[in-house]
C-alpha cells in the first residue's frame, strides 16, 4: 500500500511553517538567542518550547520501547486524531468508518472536518463484525477507527478480527489504545513494521494520571509521522506540559503501581456489583471502568446524582440500553459508590 496515495493532495504539496526553533538546533547553554522575538528575562516559560519535544520523546521512547522516529505527540490524543483527519480526509468527499458504541470524538471530528461517516455497530458481545465492516468500504473510505479496549464497553477486541481489518482495509487503521495499560492484551505498537497503514494512539490521561496536562501519543511509520509533524501546530505541546510529564514520568514505578491498585480495585468493584439486585449484567472489562446494565439507567443515574456521585449514563448508545459506565476510583470512592448503589 502506498501511503502517499492516501494523503490529501493539499497535504502532499504542503510546505510546513518553519519556526525559529526549527531553523536553528544544537543549542548550547552559553549561546545568545535573539531569533524568536522572545522576552529575554528568565521566568521558566519565556522561551518557546521544543517543537519536537526531544527530551520528553526520548524518555517516552525508553518507557515504551519504541524508537523516537515512530512517535509524535499531540495536545491530547484528540489533537492527534484531528491531525489524522486533516492529513488523509478530503472534506465533502472522503469518509471514515466507526464501530459504535465507541468513543464520541471520532464522529465529532468527522462532522467538524466535513467528512462522511459509515457506522457498523459492534455485535452483541461488543466485537467488530469484520465482514460487514469490509463490505461498507468504498474508494473514499480513508480511516477505520478501532478502539480497543473499547470505550464505553470496556472489552478488548478479538486480535484476529483486528488483524484481518488491518490487513484488508485499504486505508489507514487507527487503533485507539487509551486504555491499553489496564489491558491484558498486547499493544499493537509492536506491529507497526508489519502494517504501513497502521496508526496507534495512546494518552497519558488515563493510566498515567495526567489528564490535566493534555498529552496524547501517536505511533506510526516514519512516513506518517513526518506528515503529522509537518501539519501540526509548531508548538503544540507547551513548556509546562513537557516539564510536568518529564517530572512525573521520571518517578520510577509510579504508574505501574497505580495501575496495579486500580486493577485490584476493579476486581473488588466487579465482585461487589454482583450483589446489587437491579444490576443484570456486568460487562467484561479490560479498562479502568465497568459498564453495567441496570433496570432503569435514567432513574439510577439521577438517584446517584442526588447522592453526589457522578457516573456516565450510556443508555442512548447503540447496544447500550439501560447501561451505566462506572470509573474505578480510590478505595474510599469505590466503597461510597457500592454503599450508595445498594442503598438506592
Ligand atoms: C479518554 C479517551 C481519549 C482521550 O484522550 P486525551 O489524550 O485525553 O485527549 C481518547 N480515546 C479514548 C477511547 C478515550 O476514552
CATH number at residue 77: 3.40.640.10
Ligand 1 atom at minimal distance to the Cα of residue 147: 13
What's the whole-number mean pLDDT along residues 100-108? Answer: 98
Which residue from 146, 175, 203, 210 has its CB within 8 A of the most atoms of ligand 1, so it is best to mutate?
A: 203
Same-domain check for residues 47 and 194: yes
Distance 292 CA to ligand 1 centre (A): 21
Q: What is the pLDDT of residues 304-336, one digit of tens each?
A: 999 999 999 999 999 999 999 999 999 999 999
Which residue from 72, 74, 75, 78 has its CB within 8 A of the most atoms of ligand 1, so it is best to mutate?
A: 78
Does 211 contact ligand 1 (Cβ within 6 A)? Answer: yes
pLDDT attached to residue 30: 83
Among candidate residues 230, 249, 268, the one where a domain is terminated: 249
Same-domain check for residues 265 and 215: no
Q: What is the pLDDT of residues 142-163, one digit of tens each?
A: 999 999 999 999 999 999 999 9
Same-domain check for residues 298 and 314: yes
Does residue 162 contact residue 148 with C-beta atoms inside 8 Å?
Answer: yes
Same-domain check for residues 133 and 277: no
Count of alpha carbons within 13 angstroms of residue 298, beta-carbon side = 2
Q: How far is CA 300 from the centre of its chain?
A: 29
pLDDT attached to residue 12: 92
Same-domain check for residues 165 and 203: yes
Length of the chain: 344
Q: What is the pTM of this model?
A: 0.96
Q: What is the pLDDT of residues 15-31, one digit of tens each?
A: 877 777 777 777 777 88
pLDDT attached to residue 61: 98
Please check the confidence at residue 202 and state whether its pLDDT lies above 80. Answer: yes
What's the whole-number mean pLDDT along residues 93-101? Answer: 98
Pairing of strands 95-98, 216-219: unpaired
Nearest to 145 by CA among 67, 233, 77, 61: 77
Does 77 contact ligand 1 (Cβ within 6 A)? Answer: yes
The structural domain count of the chain equals: 2
Does residue 300 contact residue 331 with C-beta atoms inside 8 Å?
Answer: no
Among candidate residues 223, 249, 275, the one where a domain is terminated: 249
Cis bond before residue 101 (omega within 30° of 0) = yes
pLDDT attached to residue 203: 98
pLDDT attached to residue 29: 74
Band of pLDDT at residue 287, cut at 50, 70 and 90 = very high
Does 216 contact ligand 1 (Cβ within 6 A)? Answer: yes
Share of the chain above pLDDT 70, in %: 100
pLDDT attached to residue 19: 79
Does 176 contact ligand 1 (Cβ within 6 A)? Answer: yes
CATH number at residue 260: 3.90.1150.10
Q: Which residues pair with 313 in a beta bridge?
A: 324
pLDDT attached to residue 26: 74
Q: What is the mean pLDDT of the chain?
A: 96
Same-domain check for residues 225 and 130: yes
Distance 96 CA to ligand 1 centre (A): 18
pLDDT attached to residue 136: 98
The parent domain of residue 44 ranges over 3-249
Nearest to 213 by CA among 237, 189, 230: 237
pLDDT attached to residue 23: 78
Same-domain check for residues 123 and 263: no
Please check the confidence at residue 224 and state whether its pLDDT lies above 90. Answer: yes
pLDDT attached to residue 21: 75
Same-domain check for residues 181 and 51: yes
Q: What is the pLDDT of residues 247-280, one digit of tens each?
A: 999 998 999 999 999 999 999 999 999 999 999 9
Same-domain check for residues 330 and 313: yes
Band of pLDDT at residue 37, cut at 50, 70 and 90 = very high
Amino acid at each position: 500500500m502506498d501511503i502517499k496515495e492516501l494523503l490529501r493532495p493539499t497535504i502532499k504539496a504542503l510546505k510546513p511553517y518553519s519556526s525559529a526553533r526549527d531553523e536553528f538546533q544544537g543549542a548550547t547553554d552559553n549561546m545568545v538567542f535573539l531569533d524568536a522575538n522572545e522576552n529575554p528575562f528568565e521566568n521558566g516559560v519565556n522561551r518557546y518550547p521544543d517543537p519536537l519535544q526531544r527530551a520528553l520523546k526520548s524518555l517516552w521512547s525508553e518507557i515504551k520501547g519504541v524508537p523516537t522516529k515512530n512517535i509524535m505527540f499531540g495536545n491530547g490524543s484528540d489533537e492527534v486524531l484531528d491531525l489524522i483527519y486533516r492529513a488523509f480526509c478530503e472534506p465533502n468527499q472522503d469518509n471514515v468508518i466507526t464501530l459504535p458504541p465507541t468513543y464520541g470524538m471520532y464522529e465529532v471530528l468527522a462532522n467538524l472536518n466535513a467528512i462522511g461517516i459509515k457506522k457498523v455497530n459492534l455485535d452483541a458481545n461488543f466485537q467488530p463484525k469484520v465482514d460487514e465492516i469490509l463490505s461498507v468500504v468504498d474508494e473514499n473510505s480513508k480511516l477505520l477507527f478501532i478502539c480497543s479496549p473499547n470505550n464505553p464497553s470496556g472489552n478488548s477486541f478479538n486480535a484476529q478480527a483486528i488483524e484481518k481489518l488491518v490487513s484488508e482495509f485499504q486505508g489507514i487503521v487507527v487503533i485507539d489504545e487509551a486504555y491499553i495499560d489496564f489491558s491484558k492484551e498486547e499493544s499493537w505498537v509492536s506491529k507497526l513494521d508489519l502494517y504501513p497503514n497502521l496508526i496507534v494512539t495512546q494518552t497519558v490521561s488515563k493510566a498515567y494520571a495526567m489528564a490535566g496536562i493534555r498529552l496524547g501519543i501517536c505511533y506510526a511509520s516514519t512516513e506518517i509521522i513526518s506528515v503529522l509533524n509537518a501539519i501540526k501546530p509548531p508548538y503544540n505541546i507547551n513548556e509546562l506540559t513537557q516539564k510536568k510529564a518529564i517530572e512525573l514520568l521520571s518517578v520510577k514505578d509510579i504508574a505501574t503501581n497505580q495501575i496495579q491498585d486500580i486493577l485490584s480495585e476493579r476486581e473488588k468493584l466487579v465482585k461487589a456489583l454482583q450483589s446489587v439486585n437491579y444490576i443484570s449484567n456486568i460487562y467484561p472489562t479490560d479498562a479502568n471502568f465497568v459498564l453495567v446494565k441496570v433496570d432503569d439507567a435514567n432513574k439510577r443515574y439521577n438517584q446517584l446524582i442526588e447522592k453526589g456521585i457522578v457516573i456516565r449514563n450510556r443508555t442512548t448508545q447503540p447496544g447500550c440500553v439501560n447501561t451505566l459506565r462506572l470509573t474505578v476510583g480510590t478505595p474510599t470512592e469505590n466503597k461510597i459508590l457500592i454503599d450508595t448503589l445498594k442503598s438506592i
